[in-house]
Amino acid sequence: MMKKITVQTWPEAPERIRANRYYTLSCGDEILVEGKSEWAIIGTEDGKLHRIDEVFPSEIEYYGNKVCDKPFSRMSDNFSDSEEKGTYTVRSTDIDLGQHMNNASYIRAIFGMFSCKEIEDINITEVEIHFKAPCFEGEKLSVKIKKTDGETIISMIKEDGRTAVLARLS
């Protein structure tokens, strides 16, 4: 508490439609958090993926250093046999410039489904989130959980049955 932390972030050279961004949070020489996120560009008008390699500025520098180098997990979106944890209605404060639910808002919504005691019991050291379908203001999401092998897997499901988000807490 009250210590100064340093945040660093850098992109990996983009592929055709995807690019990784890495980040660290540190306090002095101690790395507190390291992360990796995969980015794509989805058109606001057509909702389709667009070439990301054409959007990155030509003068940007890419660094070879990577953190969280293991591949993203594969998570099944079959939650037919799982516990209904609750529902979440997308609010105006969840919406970003792309007019859909901001990635960070999904994380707050997921963690808001649990009590402080439940979060403590899960003993979270790693979080992985897969964004599958955009959500918009007013949509109601069904939140389901299943526990497997020391992990808690969460799905946020849209009213039309499509999976919006899968998350793995371990």
Q: What is the pLDDT of residues 111-153, one digit of tens each?
A: 999 999 999 999 999 999 999 999 999 999 999 999 988 899 9
Q: Encode pLDDT of 24-43 as tens digits.
A: 999 999 999 999 998 888 77
Strands (E), 67-120: 83-89
Label residue 1 by pLDDT band (50, 70, 90): confident
Enumerate the β-bridge partners of residue 7: 25
Torsion of CA 122, 86, 142, 20, to 10 degrees: -30
What the block records as the tokens of 125 is 């050291």
